[in-house]
Amino acid sequence: MTGNIYPPDPPRNIYAKKHIQALEMEGLQAVSRAGGLPIMLPETGTPSDAEQMIELIDGLILTGGADVAPQTYHEKPISERWPGDPKRDAYELRLIDLALKAKKPILGLCRGCQILNVYFGGTLYQDITSQKPGTLLHRDVEKYDHNNHFVSLEENGLLFPLYNKARLKVNSVHHQAVKDLGKGLKASAISEDGLIEAVELARPLNSFLLGVQWHPEWEGNPKLSLDDGQKIMAAFLEKCRGTS
Ligand code: MN
C-alpha cells in the first residue's frame, strides 16, 4: 500500500520539520480483515527499492490522499489551491509500471483510480464543481465519508459479478475525477451525474487491475447503509493469493 506524503508542517506536534509518510487506519484494517497482510511501500528515494518491494508483494494498492498534480497529465493547474503531489505521482506511476510487468494485481482507491487513469494516458477534472457544472456534490467536507451517491455498473466489468446488481450506493470524498479515459482502459462504474467512477483494463489478459473512485475500505459501518466495499477488498486479495 502506498502512503500519503506530508511535507514539513510547523503546527504539527510530531516531526514538524520533517516529511512523513502515512497510511490511513481503516484501509489497513480492511486489507487485514479480508485476510491480507498490509505492508506500506514507502518512497525512499532509492529507485531499486521500488523494484524490490514489487518483488516482495502479492498485490499493489494505491491509496487515497493528495490530488494528482495537473502537470503529471500535461495540464496547467487551474488554481493554486490544487497543486497535487507530483513526487508521489512519479513514484506511483513507477510502481504501477513494475507491478504490471510482474503481473501483480493492482487496486486503486480514490486517488488510486485517478493515477491509474493517468498512467494509461488519461486526464482528470482538476476540480469537478468548477469544470463540470451541475454535477452532484462529490465531496462534502462536513459529511466526509457519509456523503454518498449511486453508481451504475458495467455489466461486463469486474464489479458487476461481485454484487450481482447494476447499481451500488457508494461513498464520495473526491473533488477530482476521470475526464478522458486512459487508452486500454474501460469504465466499469458511472455515477448518476455521468462521471466515470471505476476503471479496469479493456482487455484484462492475465492481469487484475481495478480503480474505484470511492473508498470501499470505509464502507464497513452498517449505519452508512452503503453497499459492502469489503467485497472489492476480498476479490482483490483472492487475486493476490493466486500470484503468491
Ligand atoms: Mn463520487
Residue 221, pLDDT score: 78
Catalytic hit among 43, 215, 219, 240: 215
Residue 213, pLDDT score: 98
Q: How many Å lie between the centroid of ligand 1 and the Cα of residue 194?
A: 10
DSSP string across 35-46 = T---------S-
Give 213 or 203, the one with higher predicted confidence.
213
What does the alpha-carbon distance between residue 113 and residue 230 come to, in Å, rounded to a whole number? 17
Residue 207, pLDDT score: 82
Q: Is 154 a catalytic site residue?
A: no
| Angle made by CA atoms 8, 13, 16, in degrees to the nearest 5 | 20
Whether residue 168 contacts residue 212, with contact meaning beta carbons closer than 8 Å, is answered with no
Q: How many Å lie between the centroid of ligand 1 and the Cα of residue 84?
A: 19
Whether residue 27 contacts residue 13, with contact meaning beta carbons closer than 8 Å, is answered with no
pTM for the full predicted model: 0.96
Catalytic hit among 43, 110, 174, 200: 110
| Angle made by CA atoms 106, 108, 112, in degrees to the nearest 5 | 130
Please, what sign has the CA dihedral across residues 39, 41, 46, 47? Answer: positive
pLDDT digits (tens, 9 = 90+) for 16-45: 999 999 999 999 999 999 999 999 999 999
Q: Which residues surround ligand 1, an ion (CB under 5 A)?
A: 138, 172
Count CB neighbours of 162 within 10 A. Answer: 17
User: Which set of grid coordinates corresponds to residue 77?
Assistant: 493547474
Q: How many Å lie between the centroid of ligand 1 and the Cα of residue 103?
A: 29
pLDDT digits (tens, 9 = 90+) for 62-106: 999 999 999 999 999 999 999 999 999 999 999 999 999 999 999
Q: Is 51 a catalytic site residue?
A: no
Taking residues 119-126, report their average pLDDT. Answer: 98
244 has pLDDT over 50: no
